[in-house]
Amino acid sequence: MNRRELLSHLAACATLYPQDRVLSIDDMINVFDFDAACKLRIPRDAYDYVSGGAEDEFTLKRNRDAFGRITFRPRMLVDVSKMDLSIEVFGSRSEMPIFVAPTGSHGRVNPTGEPATARGAGAAKTIMGVSTTSSFPLADIAKAATGPLWFQLYAGPDEEGTREKVERAVGLGCKVILFTVDAPYYPHRERDLRNRLVRPEVQREMGMRRRRPDDPETERYGLPQRFTATLTWAFLRKVAAWAKVPVLVKGILTAADAKLAIENGAAGVVVSNHGGRYLDGDPATIEVLPDIVAAVGGRAPVFLDGGIRRGTDVIKALALGAKAVFVGRPPLWGLGAYGEAGVARVLRLLQTELALAMGMLGAPNLAAIRREMVVVDR
């Protein structure tokens, strides 16, 4: 939702509800309602940090627009009286193919932070990805969690510290490592720059303060050096050896890289452009999903994030070959507006929308969702 759409939505809310009425969580009927409520309830710099993208926010907008170019071909007179949205992957079970994406700094939008998000995801009976840059120590999040946790890995600032982070996450019960590969440098998020947002590095996790003596922090071309910028596919093989649990490569946008990920030990890939937060000008993830699915060729599951706001978006991604999807901003809007309960309600609303779309499409379960049920307008 861009600024104009958001203002229009807020105006509509003002018309629907009396001015003296405080909107309750029960008044929220879709993800966009949570977006508007969150914007009203948290500081501007926090909202911009969550909702903004890199530079001109072209990719941020394209992620959403691309779903509008996909239409359905529903089948009729199919028995959809019994619906089943459940999924099990890598030993983690979820009541929906909608997982919470790993996003950092939940404490910016609500002081209860990631532990509350974990409880909300658990209440919705789905999987939560936990970011390396979380506001709370991973141990606290794991203690609060009532559902499966997967750990998102930013490599660095050194190899030893990276290994310790991986082993610590696995030791705390994380079932999957999401190795993020699309962030070799810090991006220009102009909303954050204009807000003079200070985003301190998370130092609580083991190894985060290390710097290699032969790798001083310097700048070249105005780019802060990062350990991630030195990495090649060989490092994925190291991560996979350390983890001893499935490692997914997150940030894949080409068929060639999807093949390399599988060849170098990945158990799957996440088609992701980081929600339009790093390289502005990336394609929408749903646009490149079919080519990546074809390249993987069934050897490993393919997941997707980027722009998911409706249950119909989810079913489009599944029809084009995604095993499941991750949602990033919507749970944060729920957290910012209503805390733990907001996270759970956002996820359940998406689940209900997905179930409705599946019923209308003639697909009573995930296995019944097929490629021929959608048409992509090029």
Q: Rounded CA gap, 276 and 278, in Å? A: 6
Exposure of 175 in the CB half-sphere (CA atoms within 13 A):
13
Q: Rounded CA gap, 279 and 276, in Å? A: 7
Residue 274 annotated to the active site:
yes
Within 8 A by CB and 6+ apart from 174, the residues are 130, 138, 142, 149, 150, 151, 245
| Interhelix angle 285-296/255-263, nearest 10 degrees | 50
Q: Per-residue b/e over 231-241, b at no fewer than 16 CB within 10 Å?
A: beeebbebbbe
Q: Rounded CA gap, 37 and 54, in Å? A: 23
Q: Rounded CA gap, 140 and 118, in Å? A: 10
DSSP H helices in the chain: 3-16, 31-41, 44-51, 58-65, 113-123, 138-144, 159-171, 190-194, 233-243, 255-263, 285-296, 311-319, 329-361
Instruction: Based on DSSP, count helices (H) and strands (E) in the chain, helices before strands.
Output: 13, 14
Nearest to 277 by CA among 323, 228, 329, 220: 329
Q: Which residues are catalytic?
A: 274
